[in-house]
Amino acid sequence: MRLVVLGAGFLGTRLANRLLDVADVFVATLNPDQTGMTGVDALDLNRLSEYIGNVRPEVVISTVALASYYKCEENRDMCFSVNYQANKNILDVCKSVNARMAYISSSYIFDGRVGNYSEGDLANPQGNYAKSKLLAENYILQESNSIIFRLDCLYGYDAAQSCIRVGGNTFRSRMNVAFPDIIRTPIFIDDAVDLVSKVLHSGRSGVFNLAGERRLTWLKFLNDLAQMEGLEGNIYPDDPGNWIVHPPKDTSLNIQKIRQLGYGPRSYEESLKILRLQVGSSNFGISNFNR
């Protein structure tokens, strides 16, 4: 399989490395400061078309996103440009070269009032980030061979930074927690990339929830991870009134569909055990891939 990963962040890089054994992988970054990487602005349709046209992939995985809830509320235009327009461009280019598109979406498309959301449940996005992600989903799903991966909170070891990462955050700096009781089903990045790979190679299309098997309150989850690095002291309570937007209460995802295919994540305890080993190992690194 010939495959392009757009976005060389935490998830994009790990996806590329996971797929190296089974695919010819090309990675393009949206960050011009990442030296040694091919730079592609997904908002530049001509440049995007040129790059995808030259590689001629069978599959394009888009991790392109502005994931900061704060930045999305602060700058709506930027939010919709990156989260919707860039991914619309990617699908349009995929169609021109007969490639499938796989899109990384979010559990935040749900309002969090119920939790345990299945793929077919009605989305009710709150805030610019969630609305832009759902808009992209709806456009991409117009192509019947497309794939949507809806992820709950992603966590794991970031080898490039030698630290644990929770979404876009690390425990090296102050982590303010204003909503300690929100509920998530966090997914270990090792499981996320493995499940993406399995679905891609199954040839299936449609929407797939990717989440952990345990529903956890936010504060407990953060404390479990911070303890591994001895950084519990960097978690601080905060006033919800200081936040520009309130996160949904319960975005836990139902993963019965992926389990029925014979796939599924590790247990939470096993994920933490592996993460501890990664934190303590200096040999856990990043492989090379086509650039």
Contact 233, 55 (CB under 8 A): no
The count of residues in the chain is 291
Kindly tell me if the per-residue pLDDT of 282 is higher than 70: no
What CATH number does domain 2-280 carry, 3.40.50.720, 3.40.50.970, 3.40.50.300, 1.10.1740.10? 3.40.50.720
Interval 66-86 mean pLDDT: 92
pLDDT value at residue 291 = 45
Closest CA to 184 of 221, 149, 209: 221
Q: Give residue for tokens 């832009």.
A: 132
| Top-ranked range on mean pLDDT: pick from 4-8, 259-263, 280-284 | 259-263
Contact 178, 238 (CB under 8 A): yes
Q: Identify the three-state secondary structure at position 82.
A: helix
Number of Cβ within a 10 Å radius of residue 283: 6
pLDDT value at residue 45 = 92
CA distance 271 to 92: 37
Give residue 169's pLDDT band: very low, low, confident or very high (50, 70, 90). very high
* Phi, psi torsion values for 73, nearest 5 degrees: -75, -35
Q: Give residue for tokens 């619309």.
A: 88
Q: Per-residue pLDDT tens for 7-27?
A: 888 999 899 888 887 778 888
Q: What is the mean pLDDT of the chain?
A: 91
CA distance 69 to 67: 6
Closest CA to 132 of 177, 82, 97: 82
**Comparing 41 with 108, which gets the higher pLDDT?**
108
CA distance 282 to 129: 36
Interval 189-215 mean pLDDT: 96
Q: Per-residue pLDDT tens for 113-142?
A: 999 999 999 999 999 999 999 999 999 999
Question: Domain residue spans in the chain?
Answer: 2-280
pLDDT value at residue 37 = 60
Kindly tell me if the per-residue pLDDT of 196 is higher than 50: yes
CA distance 144 to 157: 34
Interval 23-40 mean pLDDT: 69
